Amino acid sequence: MVENTASTRKPARVPVHRAWSVALVACLTIVAAAAFAAMPGVLTDPLHTEYGWSRGAIGTAASVNMLVYGLIAPFAAALMDRFGVRRVALVALGTVVAGAGLTLVMTTAWQLTLYWGLLIGAGTGSLAMTFAATVTDNWFVERRGLVIGVLTGASAFGQLVFLPALAWIVDDRGWRPAVVTLALTAGVMVVLVALVLRDHPADLGQRPYGSPVFVERPRPDRGAARRTVEVLLSSVRGRRFWLLAGTFAVCGATTNGIMWTHFVPAAQDHGMAVTAAAALVSAVGVFSLVGTVLSGWLTDRVDPRALLVAYYVGRGALLAALPALFGPSAGAAMVAFVVVFGLLDVATVPPTILLCRRIFGADGAIVFGWVNAVHQAGAGAMAVFGGFTRDVGGSYGPVWLMAAALCGVAAVLASGMPRGTDVSHRAAEESAEARDGGRERA
């Protein structure tokens, strides 16, 4: 009989737990991937000028990027479970580097859709929320809330860090050096991931951070992808899924789809410099970090449905007022808009995640993955709609009003959601604890 030494191996003693270096590299990886999400807004005018492509065609590439980003997320966790976090992260970063490199030599609009939309969308989508959740679950028992909050906020932080610099490079040197900068950043992360990131503490003979016992690495779940599809097919049959998905589609349309893609060119239409416009979008990212933390705190204390109604009503009012705020410079009213919109920007995520867990129980995380895919579909649709509206009508004005109206619809949908219950979630946790206790006694 072969003895299983993994469970009896003594954990290595280290001054600083390896989990923190793994979390740091994961955070930097998410930051680097997020920088690509901010790029379409500063690429629109340069590509339109150089190639004569319509804004609708450029918006289509951004739309495909957002759609692929969302659709691959539910399967990314299954791939990480099957092949390991490190391998999936390396392949994803390699795909991003390849997509950015090919963008430099493109000559037609369909190539932008293929390289930026499909390749970069797939790569960055694999390094989003599911990546953050998997790293946190594998490496942490204590401080999970803190770590997942930081990793989730790293996406907005990536846009904050890179967008002003990318806008300056585009304005001063052209769009190709900006894309090269992103590609080199992703290349550096390939090296760091290869050197530091590991799939599980057991690979290094360590316990997860805060765990009193050694935890063996789980066996790969070869049926994870099948379960992901099964949960989708089951959940879409009910009204509850579509209420959640509908509100989150509006969230995507009124943030990624319009603000991150069209705010910069819309501001330029009113005489604002690209660097100033990019700085305003970056500031939205700053306050979104604050808003997400505050929203998470409120979600533990207030009915999440009421929070969603308040968030969407507030966002709609801001978007309706935005056309009147544009001008050659950012006045006090525009700064106030940026602050408040930033606080509401990602605030919808914590209550939506909680509702998914309450309503769908043990399948809540997978359901949220699919709800997030619909979020990206809404973002992609608005990116295309905004570009074509600007091409045909010569103004982004109707786009902001359309987005405001959608927020009103989302508020109505949120008010009609069931509250759900935590009973199934607690039962699942108690069942898991009972199983673990039985194994330890055995």
Please check whether residues 170 and 254 belong to one and the same domain. no
- Mean pLDDT, residues 227-253 taken together: 91
Mean pLDDT of the chain: 82
Where does a domain end: 222, 247, 265? 222
Where does a domain end: 190, 222, 254? 222
Q: Which pLDDT score, from 0 to 100, does residue 7 have?
A: 41
Residue 71 has pLDDT above 70, yes or no: yes
- For residue 6, being part of any structural domain is answered with no
Please check whether residues 161 and 255 belong to one and the same domain. no
Residue 411 has pLDDT above 90, yes or no: yes
Condensed to tens digits (0 to 9), the pLDDT of residues 4-58 reads 444 444 444 556 688 889 989 998 999 888 888 777 777 888 888 888 888 888 8
Q: Which pLDDT score, from 0 to 100, does residue 179 have?
A: 92
- For residue 441, being part of any structural domain is answered with no
Please check whether residues 163 and 270 belong to one and the same domain. no
Q: Which pLDDT score, from 0 to 100, does residue 429 have?
A: 43
285 vs 85: which has the higher pLDDT: 85
pLDDT band at 102 (very low <50, low <70, confident <90, very high): very high
Q: Is 140 helix (H, G, I), strand (E, B) or coil?
A: strand
SS3 content of the chain, % helix, strand, coil (to 5): 80, 0, 20
- For residue 9, being part of any structural domain is answered with no
- For residue 434, being part of any structural domain is answered with no
Where does a domain end: 222, 240, 264? 222
Q: Which pLDDT score, from 0 to 100, does residue 64 have?
A: 87
Please check whether residues 106 and 170 belong to one and the same domain. yes
In one letter, which amino acid is 73?
A
- Mean pLDDT, residues 175-181 taken together: 91
- For residue 122, being part of any structural domain is answered with yes
Length of the chain as a residue count = 442
**Tokens in use for 176?**
């190709």
pLDDT band at 221 (very low <50, low <70, confident <90, very high): low
What whole-number distance in Å separates Cα of residue 57 and Cα of residue 55? 5
Percent of the residues in the chain that have a pLDDT greater than 90, as a whole number: 30
**Which residue is associated with the tokens 């050197």?**
195
Please check whether residues 139 and 121 belong to one and the same domain. yes
174 vs 428: which has the higher pLDDT: 174
pTM: 0.70
- For residue 197, being part of any structural domain is answered with yes
Condensed to tens digits (0 to 9), the pLDDT of residues 289-346 reads 788 778 877 887 889 999 999 999 999 999 999 999 999 988 899 999 999 999 998 8
Q: Which pLDDT score, from 0 to 100, does residue 401 have?
A: 94
- For residue 11, being part of any structural domain is answered with no
**Tokens in use for 149?**
């909050």
Please check whether residues 77 and 132 belong to one and the same domain. yes
Domain with 417 in it: 232-425
Please check whether residues 130 and 195 belong to one and the same domain. yes
In one letter, which amino acid is 274?
V
Residue 244 has pLDDT above 90, yes or no: yes
Please check whether residues 56 and 184 belong to one and the same domain. yes
Please check whether residues 264 and 210 belong to one and the same domain. no
Q: Which pLDDT score, from 0 to 100, does residue 230 have?
A: 87
Among the listed residues 183, 299, 313, the one whose alpha carbon sits nearest the alpha carbon of residue 247: 313
Q: Which pLDDT score, from 0 to 100, does residue 238 have?
A: 87
**DSSP per residue, 155-204:** HHHHHHHHHHHHHHHHHHT-HHHHHHHHHHHHHHHHHHHHHH--S-GGGG
For the domain that residue 156 is a member of, what is the CATH number? 1.20.1250.20
Distances (CA, A) of 141 to 137, 205, 212, 436: 7, 16, 9, 14
Q: Which pLDDT score, from 0 to 100, does residue 2 have?
A: 38
Condensed to tens digits (0 to 9), the pLDDT of residues 358-395 reads 888 767 777 888 888 898 889 888 988 888 888 888 88
Condensed to tens digits (0 to 9), the pLDDT of residues 83-98 reads 888 999 999 999 999 9
363 vs 168: which has the higher pLDDT: 168
Q: How many domains does the chain have?
A: 2
Please check whether residues 150 and 280 belong to one and the same domain. no
Distances (CA, A) of 263 to 51, 105, 228: 21, 27, 35
Through-space distance between the first and last CA atoms of the chain, rounded to whole angstroms: 18
Q: Which pLDDT score, from 0 to 100, does residue 435 have?
A: 41
pLDDT band at 140 (very low <50, low <70, confident <90, very high): confident
Please check whether residues 152 and 78 belong to one and the same domain. yes
- For residue 324, being part of any structural domain is answered with yes
Instruction: Please state the φ and ψ torsions of residue 109, each to the nearest 5 degrees.
Output: -65, -35
Please check whether residues 212 and 275 belong to one and the same domain. no
